[in-house]
Structure 1
């Protein structure tokens, strides 16, 4: 809906508040006069620019995010989340400011909306500011890295390797190092296998594999192509044939969506970054200036600094996905330039059409590691209080980390806590669920603890008799 339609459906008190907020002179008791006065001001280029600048100054954080959204209507809970930084009465003030309106249909799923022309004007304001802040170059850098669709090539390499070898899993749920070394030698893009101890949040297998391989492996598991069962890895041939028969663009789009879903937990504003990069596409962009534009949407994540998130989790992964290419002016210098590829433009545009905005905005609370460690991603004292009966705290640098073992399970059951309810809560709050080896051992430990408790109870009863 456009601004004139939204104003026409607004009540007189709402129009009065909007006119007062925008400092538009009018007859305050005439709906027609208020409406016409606001529209006349909006149609005046200078007045419209004044309104937009005021909105973007007063509501910068929320409008910066809204203009990147592929839709203009929002649920009340969603808008409340966007307006949270502005205080408890932010919704009422936003409705009085003149850029947010209530949909005339009370039964609609998205009752709050930004008029199309208001959205477009604010979008143009921000886009002009963003474009003025990035440094561009017209020619190609001397040294360019572009992986195109090599991630799909390496997915096929992974499937072929698993099909032709006896690939088994360690007790932590990872492939043995010998298999990893052989597999990495076959990959089109090689990665170092040495990893730091603390790795979680960016996919189910990020604890065990390098970033790119972890994404490929997790994607293969999600598609059902790779199956982990009874400590062994195998290929589901029917699923693989079905996947391989799809068009390349379809496969790449599914892979990009998998990346967004996997990485959005630790980087909640990742979809906004991707939408911003699409709007700044075309020429080569200086990486430093581009990062400064994306800075409001970036955050540190435990062991990753903001720079790590930007360079490793976004720039490098977009290159792996074929969405972007990077360039430098010297062969051994770090990348200095960034460009969205034509393939990337198409993928990101399709992502907007499908709208990644429907993904859950809530950050996951837990990551359950295959080594029986639970890492709290979003600190929540109530959740940690519920976790406490069946875990023990472990020392960590800045992390809220716990470990569940046989004796902690036995202790919780012995003290009368509901283990099944606890396990269901952990599964519900975990980003990637409970790993298979952990799930299996939890059941064994719980059964053993219950059996021990029953024996002790019978023994106590007999002694009393």
Structure 2
């Protein structure tokens, strides 16, 4: 529901409490007059912008955790979870944050039979506040890049090529469980987006079950195929295609992009717990335009924490790289070498269609983030 609709369901005492929160005069007896006053006051862009700027750091984090979520209705448990995440390592009263939203008319108790035990965010108010968040970082539009990469649909095609490779070739595994490098090279030559086997020594762990053995993009393809049950690793030391995997090839079935995107969200939430907020920021700032990576970095500051050998900056680069492989964004370079990002139409549909906030991290059987703590 929109703001005006929710106000009509709100009793006059609650309307007066909202009025007093903002400290302006209005009739305390006429509900219609109160609603008109509130709509007029909160309908002004400048007034809403000042309210946002007046939020402290914890309030801002809580607001983004609630308003960046594409759902409009939440349980008390979900709100308390978001409030706890907003406080982070600080000690604070989670219920006070929920009460803060209620007093401002940015959150309402559910008004229908379906939502009467839940809490609802005004849909139009959410959109306006999210635009205000984005406008704080958006300046004049960036120039078109001199070159860019767009990999929409390519990940799913290379998944099919991997399955076909396993179907038509004997693929043995090393003692560490990796495809031999010579087989990797042969496989990668068939890909639309080729990679090279991992050669350089360094720490690789935390981004998938076989991340320590393979380059980033193929690691995602491999872990996804294993998670979906398309391949199996036999105790005899070979990769085999399952009946399910063979069916994908024989029936020429294209893997749904939303399933691969959902898998990536769940996989990468291990090292980046607030990935749904980061993805939402990218969509707000780079949909329908080219936005410098530096602008996105400033916006997500505080939502990405260093992870072992990764800094917040390198984690964002990794996130953007994988979103490009998934076809969610295009990545370009300006005439001056500036790195630019633009969300694709398909990417916007994925981000808005799949609420990352409700996607939990994968079971360790399929992600096992610590099993690869080794040098390669």
TM-score, normalisation: structure 2: 0.81
Aligned to 2:346: 346
Kindly report which structure 2 residues correspond to 1:86-165, keeping only aligned pairs within 5 A, or say none: 87-88=92-93, 89-105=96-112, 108=115, 111-132=118-139, 136-137=142-143, 139-141=144-146, 143-165=147-169
Residue 128 of structure 1: how far off its partner (Å): 2.8
Distance 1:162 1:362 in 2: 25
Residue 212 of structure 1: how far off its partner (Å): 0.8
Aligned to 1:336: 339
Residue 217 of structure 1: how far off its partner (Å): 0.4
Cα distance 1:92–1:286, how it changes in 2: closer, same or farther (>3 A)?
Answer: closer
Aligned to 2:294: 288
Aligned to 2:267: 262
Distance 1:109 1:360 in 2: 26
C-alpha distance after superposition, 1:68-111 (max 9, x if no partner): 22221112122112223353122223222221111134763871
Unaligned ranges ≥5, structure 2: none
Q: Which structure: greater helix fraction?
A: 1
Distance 2:133 2:249 in 1: 40
Distance 2:369 2:190 in 1: 30
Match of 1:191 among 192, 196, 221: 196
Task: State how many pairs are aligned.
Answer: 360
Residue 54 of structure 1: how far off its partner (Å): 0.9
C-alpha distance after superposition, 1:350-407 (max 9, x if no partner): 442243332138998x946557x7x9xxxxxxxxxxxxxxxxxxxx9xxxxxxxxxxx
Match of 1:201 among 200, 206, 209: 206
Residue 318 of structure 1: how far off its partner (Å): 1.9
Moved more, 101-110 or 14-23: 101-110
Aligned to 1:64: 64
- Name the structure, 1 or 2, with higher relative contact order (CA <8 Å, separation 6+): 2
Match of 1:310 among 309, 316, 321: 316
Cα distance 1:18–1:135, how it changes in 2: closer, same or farther (>3 A)?
Answer: same
Unaligned ranges ≥5, structure 1: 376-395, 397-465
Aligned to 1:454: none
Aligned to 1:348, what secondary structure does the other structure show? helix
Q: Which has the larger radius of gyration?
A: 1
Aligned to 1:220, what secondary structure does the other structure show? helix
Aligned to 1:325: 330
TM-score, normalisation: structure 1: 0.67
Contact 2:205 2:371 in 1 (8 A): no
Aligned-residue CA RMSD (Å): 3.4
